[in-house]
Amino acid sequence: MIIALAAGCSDDERNSENSRPPGALGPLQTVEFELGGVTVEIEVAITQAEQMQGLMYRESMPENHGMLFVNEQPRYLSFWMKNTRIPLSIAFIRDDLVISNIENMKPQTGSFEPVERYHSRYKCLYALEINEGWFEQHGIKAGEKIDLPLEKIEQIASSKKQ
């Protein structure tokens, strides 16, 4: 049975598995929605462990894929790129679903200190990471509203609280 499962994995999936350290999380539950006229598939990071790891250890990410960090209450957010191998853009999103600011983040695969941090300009409830330049390529800017699938996100959050 193990051989059948391994045979069913693509080379990319096996390489991704091998590049993660023991105990590292794999892909998370996803939601799909339209953003900038394109359907995106977004992993939802709810728990502290999911948010701490984020997109660490990944070698690549599909074009219209990303990760949404969901916080319990609005606050000033700060992100870094420790052990993150791919360049990303991050949209900090307020609780009214308006983008506070978008920052481009550089991979950080070397030593942890000093590490560049990326901050929200306002208190935010969400942060959406996607491949670097994606927001710009799709005409999405700070001050615009994002129609997040809040009901689906809440279902994922509720399933993790049980």
Closest CA to 135 of 100, 88, 97: 88
pLDDT tens digits for range 106-136: 998 766 666 789 999 999 999 999 999 999 9
Residue 117 makes CB contacts below 8 A (sequence gap 6+) with 78, 79, 80
Q: Looking at the domain assignment, is residue 55 inside a domain?
A: yes
Give the number of domains in the chain: 1
pLDDT tens digits for range 52-90: 999 988 889 999 999 999 999 999 999 999 888 999 999
Band of pLDDT at residue 2, cut at 50, 70 and 90: very low
The CATH number of the domain holding residue 92 is 2.60.120.1140
Instruction: Give the residue ranges of DSSP H helices in the chain.
Output: 2-8, 11-19, 48-53, 134-137, 150-161
Hey, what's the torsion of the CAs at 38, 132, 50, 159, to 10 degrees?
A: -10
Q: Looking at the domain assignment, is residue 3 inside a domain?
A: no
Q: Looking at the domain assignment, is residue 4 inside a domain?
A: no
The DSSP secondary structure of 68-101, one letter per residue, reads EEEEEEEE--EE--BTB-S-EEEEEE-TTSBEEE
Tell me what pLDDT residue 113 has: 63
Strand bridging mode 65-75 / 38-45: parallel
Q: Looking at the domain assignment, is residue 18 inside a domain?
A: no
Q: Looking at the domain assignment, is residue 133 inside a domain?
A: yes
Q: Looking at the domain assignment, is residue 8 inside a domain?
A: no
For tokens 């049975």, name the residue: 1
pLDDT tens digits for range 6-43: 333 333 443 444 565 665 677 899 999 999 999 999 99
Q: Looking at the domain assignment, is residue 40 inside a domain?
A: yes
Q: What percent of the chain has pLDDT over 70?
A: 81
Q: Looking at the domain assignment, is residue 2 inside a domain?
A: no
**89: containing domain:** 28-161
